Amino acid sequence: MSQTTVDRAVDERLALITDAGLVAHGRGSAAYDALVTGFNLDQSVSPVVVVRPRDAADVAALVRLANEHGFGVGVRLTGHGLSPALDDQVMVHTGDLAELHVDAEGRWARIGAGVVWQRVLDEAAAHGLGAIAGSAPSVGVVGYTTGGGLSPVGRTYGLAVDHVRSFDVVTGDGVLRRASATEDPELFWALKGGRGTAGIVTALELDLLPLAELYGGAVFFDGADAATVLRTWNAWSAELPPEATTSIAFLRLPPLPDLPPPLAGRFTVSVRFAWAGPLDEGAAVLAPMRAAATPVLDGVGRLPFAAFGAIHTDPADPMPVVEDHTLLAGLPDEAVDALLARVGPEADCPQLLVELRQLGGAYRTGPDAAFAHRDAAFTVHTVGLAVPPVREAALAHNGALLAALAPWSTGGRLPNFASRTDAGWYRAVYGEAGVARLRAVVLAHDPRNVLAGGRALRAATD
């Protein structure tokens, strides 16, 4: 097909959508370029057209149009987990679905698909409440939650999907539905961890947390103390009550001027900690870690819940990265040795971050959901800078690290970490039974194979 033919097809699709009264942008416009650029600059998509719906009715109208004319539709907001499945389809950007209502008396919120977590945290804080947000409050609520939602207070409160009351969702047949435990419960199950496979969520309602303040933050140690800190953390975290959630990160940050001097341009180890119990008990619980070695920076203390992002201090600005991820059933001494050999002070490690999160606690229980692997003990996540030649080195290191940890891996993966669209990834995330159940929901609600998420699942598992 010639470029002229492609351009004509794009123009025809754009005209079709705009004639239907929808706000849309085609390739070559500044608005299009801004909307398709996600957080991870190493990933790019090239949808034919980007549509900015004003409300759920616009989303439903677009999907009905797609059914009539045979094109695919995908969705995104912040693009932290951007999927290449959006290429050559129509992309819905949910940024204008900005509804947010907090019911302080009932301790719940209604949240549009264009809302990011920090806005929810700020609004909830005005009523003395918190929310089951992720480590990066700049991400969209809906994308994070439909992937399960792993929170820095998750050992206390569980997954984000465990707190969802209902979803408003446009399914692949162009129908706007409400899904809850009593209204279309099978669709509700699929949306709780199934990401965008079963529909385009336009809003959700979820319970808020009775928590205005916590004891939390991060303690940083010199990389030379990595072995001592990791071994101490492993023993200490094994005895933690469910009021505590923790992770440990091995950081090799560049010498950037906006980083604290103790962290810039050096190898450090960060112990993240959130204590949701009585505030006056938090320091005593953390004391064994503070005594493990001499901290180079201690940022743990009483923290307003709205300042929740300070626990992980994830970057807020887009950057090009490559990632990988696995789940561990446990962390015996041999696994600690294998990890230190590849990320410790003597290792040739090209990663910006290698993170080990402790799971357990309230993660292990919750309502039936597409999200699987509640029984995993730890998750390992790597992030490397995607700039040649570091990109190639980070990819190779990812493979070597995950291979070294394979004896303790569950073989599973989580929906929101290093997501892909191949058959092996779907099986690792949902298991054979979960994939079959998710496919059944997709087939029932998207008979013409319109939605990009469902298309990717069906293509990978046909």
Q: Say if residues 275 and 214 touch (Cβ distance below 8 Å).
A: yes
CA distance 213 to 383: 30
Q: What burial class does residue 324 get, using C-beta atoms within 10 Å of its C-beta: 0-12 exposed, 13-18 middle, 19+ buried?
A: buried
Domain limit, last residue, from 392, 408, 424: 408
Q: Is residue 461 part of a domain?
A: no
> Same domain, yes or no, for 17 and 159?
no
Expressed as residue numbers, the domain containing 7 is 3-93
Domain limit, last residue, from 93, 108, 130: 93
> Same domain, yes or no, for 88 and 127?
no
> Same domain, yes or no, for 242 and 169?
no
pTM of the model: 0.95
> Same domain, yes or no, for 75 and 154?
no
Phi, psi (5° rounding) for residue 336? Answer: -60, -45
Per-residue pLDDT of the chain (462 residues; tens, 9 = 90+): 455 555 676 788 899 999 999 999 998 899 999 998 888 877 788 899 999 999 999 999 999 999 999 999 999 887 676 565 677 789 999 999 999 999 999 999 999 999 999 999 999 999 999 999 999 999 999 999 999 999 999 999 999 999 999 999 999 999 999 999 999 999 999 999 999 899 999 999 999 999 999 999 999 999 999 999 999 999 999 999 999 999 999 999 999 888 999 999 999 999 999 999 999 999 999 999 999 999 999 999 999 999 999 999 988 788 889 999 999 999 999 999 999 999 999 999 999 999 999 999 999 999 999 999 999 999 999 999 999 999 999 999 999 999 999 999 999 999 998 788 889 999 999 999 999 999 999 999 999 999 999 999 999 988
The alpha carbon of residue 367 and the mean position of all alpha carbons in its chain are separated, in whole angstroms, by: 20
- Indicate the number of domains in the chain: 3
CATH code of the domain in which 168 resides = 3.30.465.10
Q: Is residue 22 part of a domain?
A: yes
Q: What angle do CA 442, 448, 451 make, to 5 degrees?
A: 55
Tokens 């959130």 found at: 274
Amino acid 1: pLDDT: 47
> Same domain, yes or no, for 299 and 371?
yes
Domain limit, last residue, from 93, 127, 162: 93
Q: Is residue 393 part of a domain?
A: yes
Give the up-direction half-sphere exposure of residue 72: CA atoms within 13 A in the CB hemisphere.
18
